[in-house]
């Protein structure tokens, strides 16, 4: 089975967590405001149909239910258990529940890996119990979960004191219980239906990815909103994303933490620029998941996704009564890369004749005149949809859309147009009462008070559409790769890569000045000369690279200079001589790299060299391995890509050869195994179309 795929029942073991027929509450409290009492009170109020079995050694009755003094005294084996007792007692309780035959535990108890090493050890023992027995543990240190559709509330969140889950088809999965229920509360304030919310806590067993996968399989959930801090069980996470894409269920993720891999200790150039947050974004993009910048945007996107319209060939048509709002909409759309094409000239002329002082290009400004002539709204909107062909429509009416005097006519005109074009995605930017907003929503319109938020949401739906319409390609086969026992020098690294089909600039090794002079003649002047040492991987940092050596005297002098610099900068370094290569001028410099991510394995990096990487950080990442088609998309996704395709009169570069090299590097990295830490090909020299691409420098770093 390919990595990232999963059978339909892969997450079925979580069913006892989500829909148990009976549940024991260990540490049950008669006080409905306490941690051990809240779940009982909530489930009784919600009409949970399963059997509730409170366990409390000091009470014969808890909240009107018979209570039992111990786990062993329970009258039947519950399918699930809520554990709400101190951490010092929880481990023994879990072991007793396993022995009894319980299939799932919601472990509220805190004081595990989030506290200290002793807590981490106790959590590891819980994980071992789960692995041995098949018990599924949510937590420890979890706020629990709820599924309001069946009255299942094994949670102690105080958010339920203020908000009740509304009917709807958005599921929430969060590692942080407090933040996940914050998202639920904000959603409830906005009128969004989020009947399911799960907090995974410390994830001794059940992980965020598994919860996502279970929600994907839930026929009552269409959209999955996720709050993440980190990823455990990466394979389960990738399988869940793949399942969501196949089921056309958007995963919208808010991930906190933007640290860099190996910050302060990155040994390679690639490691210094391939931050783990960027890796995470690349993994999400690969699988068609959408990343939100903040909590409000998470819900903005989830709300838009409930319409289940995902325009793959997305274009935006903007209709506005404000020129300033139109400019704002255009600015945001351009920054996101959402096309805003103008109406055809004939359509513009027709609108201009209907309203001479309108601005009918796109955004289409129908001005405040529509207050006097509401019929113009329908005419302008109809023209935009019929003639412009826009897949997404945003109409800015601000407070006009909420006016009791004007809104009915506006609503009727817009609803009539939408009825004729039901396959488009519509959003309104209006300021209106909750009742009027709900009326617009019932007509099929998304409603945002702020137009920039609407543009971002419409753009996100288009990106989801692209992901859903594309067919994931199978990764290339992995040939055997045999790595040396230790990190190789540059020449040896290049030899390894050449065997994998990666073109290398012609070069020679020299161990004396005479050999260097002879090598330069055989290569042809001018040449580049570099120190060759497995202990000096980044030669330029010590002046270990000399360019433009045009004759024998320059080569002999360079040989002496390089050895002298090494003697000063790295006297203990092992020297394997010097490396000479023919200097190639007029090429476009690129960087190709690999960095092993602790969660997602080898990650390939592509960017143009020079300031595009160092200053602009114009680069693209992708998990390995991948084929040449993916490599081409990576190359084309950089902002500097036009330089490769012949911008400003330049000769087009050999992108075909470059894509082949990038793909082969990804295959090599995937096949090399976990000992491979990093690869830098910097620079890669890309010549004109049909002339090839060649790695001029190579570093391979190995572990162990």
- CATH number reported for the structural domain that contains residue 44 in this entry: 3.40.50.720
Domain end residue (candidates: 552, 582, 612):
582
d(CA 347, CA 645): 35
Task: Say what the pLDDT of residue 541 is.
Answer: 87
Residues 47 and 167 in one domain: yes
Residues 571 and 606 in one domain: no
d(CA 31, CA 404): 48
Residues 92 and 227 in one domain: yes
Task: Say what the pLDDT of residue 1 is.
Answer: 31
Lowest mean pLDDT among 197-206, 469-478, 519-528, 684-693: 469-478
Task: Say what the pLDDT of residue 475 is.
Answer: 84
> Is the residue at 519 inside a domain?
yes
Those residues whose C-beta lies under 8 Å from the C-beta of residue 416, and which sit 6 or more positions away, are 378
Q: Which of 587, 607, 694, 591 is nearest to 651 (CA)?
A: 587
- Taking residues 442-451, report their average pLDDT: 97
Q: Pairing mode, if any, of strands 316-320 and 364-365?
A: parallel
**Chain segment 15-34, per-residue pLDDT in tens:** 999 999 999 999 999 999 99
pTM of structure: 0.91
What string of DSSP letters covers 498-538?
HHTT--B--EEEESSHHHHHHHHHHH-SSEEEEE--TT-S-
> Is the residue at 169 inside a domain?
yes
**Chain segment 652-673, per-residue pLDDT in tens:** 999 999 999 999 999 999 999 9
Domain end residue (candidates: 582, 598, 616):
582
Residues 202 and 98 in one domain: yes
Q: Pairing mode, if any, of strands 578-582 and 507-510?
A: antiparallel
Q: What CATH number did the domain enclosing 328 receive?
A: 3.40.50.261
Residues 404 and 512 in one domain: no
> Is the residue at 364 inside a domain?
yes
Confidence at 552, pLDDT banded by 50, 70, 90: very high
Alpha helices in 58-141 (DSSP H): 87-100, 117-133
- C-alpha to C-alpha distances, 416 to 169, 375, 389, nearest whole angstrom: 27, 12, 17
Task: Say what the pLDDT of residue 30 is.
Answer: 97
Percentage above 90 pLDDT, the chain: 87
> Is the residue at 495 inside a domain?
no
| Full domain range(s) for residue 446 | 316-469
> Is the residue at 263 inside a domain?
no
Task: Say what the pLDDT of residue 639 is.
Answer: 87
Task: Say what the pLDDT of residue 258 is.
Answer: 64
Residues 224 and 163 in one domain: yes
- Taking residues 411-437, report their average pLDDT: 96
* Mean pLDDT (the chain, rounded): 93
Residues 321 and 295 in one domain: no
Residues 554 and 528 in one domain: yes
Those residues whose C-beta lies under 8 Å from the C-beta of residue 669, and which sit 6 or more positions away, are 594, 596, 602, 604, 624, 625, 676, 679
Percentage above 70 pLDDT, the chain: 95
- Residue 273 confidence (pLDDT) above 60: no
Q: CA angle, 89 as apex, 83 and 93 as ends, to 5°?
A: 55
> Is the residue at 561 inside a domain?
yes
Q: What CATH number did the domain enclosing 574 receive?
A: 3.30.1490.20
Domain end residue (candidates: 469, 489, 519):
469
DSSP letter at 387 equals: I
Confidence at 270, pLDDT banded by 50, 70, 90: very low
Q: Which two tokens stand for residue 7?
A: 């059978």
**How many domains does the chain fold into?**
4
Residues 124-155 as b/e (b if ≥16 CB within 10 A, e otherwise) read eebbebbeebebbbbbbbbbbbbbbbbbbbbb
Task: Say what the pLDDT of residue 257 is.
Answer: 75
**Chain segment 175-216, per-residue pLDDT in tens:** 999 999 999 999 999 999 999 999 999 999 999 999 999 999
Confidence at 7, pLDDT banded by 50, 70, 90: very low
d(CA 13, CA 233): 15
d(CA 565, CA 578): 13
Residues 310-328 as b/e (b if ≥16 CB within 10 A, e otherwise) read bbeebbbbbbbbbeebbeb
**Chain segment 357-376, per-residue pLDDT in tens:** 899 999 999 988 877 788 88
Residues 242-277 as b/e (b if ≥16 CB within 10 A, e otherwise) read bbbbeeebbbbbbbeeeebbbeeebbbbbbbbbbbe
Q: Which two tokens stand for residue 420?
A: 């004729």
Residues 388 and 243 in one domain: no
**Chain segment 599-632, per-residue pLDDT in tens:** 999 999 999 886 667 677 789 999 999 999 999 9
- Residue 263 confidence (pLDDT) above 50: no
Residues 149 and 66 in one domain: yes
- Residue 2 confidence (pLDDT) above 50: no
> Is the residue at 490 inside a domain?
no
**Chain segment 49-99, per-residue pLDDT in tens:** 999 999 999 999 999 999 999 999 999 999 999 999 999 999 999 999 999
**Chain segment 34-52, per-residue pLDDT in tens:** 999 999 999 999 999 999 9
Report which secondary-structure segment, H or E, holds 495: helix 490-499
- Residue 697 confidence (pLDDT) above 80: yes
- Taking residues 544-568, report their average pLDDT: 96
Residues 548 and 627 in one domain: no
**Chain segment 514-524, per-residue pLDDT in tens:** 999 999 999 99
Residues 564 and 614 in one domain: no
> Is the residue at 496 inside a domain?
no
Task: Say what the pLDDT of residue 203 is.
Answer: 95
- Kindly report the number of other CB atoms within 10 A of residue 179's CB atom: 17
Task: Say what the pLDDT of residue 370 is.
Answer: 76
């Amino acid at each position: 089975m390919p990595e990232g795929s999963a059978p339909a029942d892969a997450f079925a073991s979580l069913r006892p967590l989500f829909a148990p027929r009976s549940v024991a509450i260990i540490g049950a409290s008669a006080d409905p405001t306490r941690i051990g009492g809240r779940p009982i009170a909530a489930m009784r109020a919600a009409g949970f149909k399963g059997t509730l079995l409170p366990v409390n050694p000091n009470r014969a009755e808890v909240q009107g239910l018979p209570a039992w003094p111990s786990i062993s005294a329970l009258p039947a084996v519950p399918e699930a258990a809520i554990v709400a007792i101190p951490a010092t007692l929880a481990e023994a309780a879990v072991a007793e529940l396993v022995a009894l035959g319980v299939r799932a535990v919601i472990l509220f108890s805190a004081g595990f890996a989030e506290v200290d090493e002793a807590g981490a050890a106790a959590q590891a023992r819980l994980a071992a119990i789960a692995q041995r027995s098949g018990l599924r543990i949510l937590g420890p240190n979890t706020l629990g979960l709820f599924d309001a559709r069946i009255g299942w509330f094994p949670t102690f969140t105080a958010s339920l004191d203020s908000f009740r889950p509304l009917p709807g088809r958005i599921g929430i999965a969060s590692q942080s219980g407090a933040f996940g229920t914050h998202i639920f509360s904000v959603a409830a304030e906005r009128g969004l239906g989020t009947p399911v919310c799960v907090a995974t806590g410390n994830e001794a067993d059940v992980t965020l990815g598994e919860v996502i996968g279970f929600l994907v399989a839930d026929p009552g959930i269409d959209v999955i909103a996720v709050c993440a801090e980190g990823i455990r069980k990466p394979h389960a996470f990738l399988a869940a994303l793949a399942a969501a894409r196949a089921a056309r269920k958007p995963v919208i993720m808010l991930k906190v933490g933007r640290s860099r891999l190996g910050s302060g200790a990155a040994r390679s150039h690639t490691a210094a620029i391939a931050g783990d947050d960027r890796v995470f974004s690349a993994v999400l993009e690969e699988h068609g998941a959408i990343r939100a910048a903040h909590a409000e945007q998470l819900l903005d996107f989830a709300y838009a996704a409930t319409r289940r319209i995902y325009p793959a060939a997305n274009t935006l048509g903007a209709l506005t009564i404000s020129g300033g709002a139109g400019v704002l909409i255009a600015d945001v759309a351009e920054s996101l890369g959402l096309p805003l094409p103008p109406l055809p000239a004939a359509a513009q002329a027709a609108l201009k004749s209907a309203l001479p002082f309108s601005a009918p290009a796109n955004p289409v400004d129908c001005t405040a005149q529509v207050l006097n002539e509401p019929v113009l709204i329908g005419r302008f909107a109809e023209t935009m949809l019929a003639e412009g062909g826009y897949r997404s429509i945003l109409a800015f009416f601000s407070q006009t859309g909420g006016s009791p005097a004007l809104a009915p006519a506006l609503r009727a005109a817009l609803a009539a147009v939408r009825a004729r074009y039901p396959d488009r995605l519509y959003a309104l930017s209006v300021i209106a009462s909750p009742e009027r907003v709900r009326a617009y929503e019932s007509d099929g319109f998304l409603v945002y008070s702020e137009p920039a938020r609407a543009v971002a949401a419409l753009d996100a739906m288009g990106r989801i559409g692209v992901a859903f319409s594309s067919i994931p390609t199978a990764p290339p086969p992995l040939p055997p790769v045999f790595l040396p026992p230790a990190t190789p020098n540059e020449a040896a690294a290049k030899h390894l890569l050449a065997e994998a089909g990666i073109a290398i600039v012609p070069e020679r090794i020299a161990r004396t000045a005479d050999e260097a002079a002879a090598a330069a003649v055989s290569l042809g002047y001018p040449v580049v000369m570099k120190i060759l040492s497995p202990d000096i991987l980044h030669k330029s940092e010590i002046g270990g690279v000399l360019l433009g050596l045009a004759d024998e005297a320059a080569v002999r002098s360079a040989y002496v200079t390089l050895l002298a610099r090494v003697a000063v900068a790295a006297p203990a370094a092992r020297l394997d001589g010097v490396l000479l290569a023919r200097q190639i001028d007029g090429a476009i410099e690129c960087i190709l790299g690999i960095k092993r991510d602790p969660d997602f394995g080898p990650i390939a990096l592509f960017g143009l060299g020079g300031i595009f990487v160092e200053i602009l950080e114009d680069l693209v990442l992708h998990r390995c391995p991948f084929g040449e088609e993916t490599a081409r998309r990576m190359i084309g996704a950089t902002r500097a890509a036009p330089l490769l395709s012949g911008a400003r009169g330049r000769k087009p570069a050999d992108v075909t050869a470059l894509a082949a090299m990038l793909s082969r590097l990804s295959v090599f990295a995937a096949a090399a195994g976990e000992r491979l830490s990093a690869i830098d090909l910097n620079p890669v020299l890309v010549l004109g179309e049909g002339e090839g691409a060649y790695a001029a420098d190579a570093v391979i770093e190995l572990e162990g």
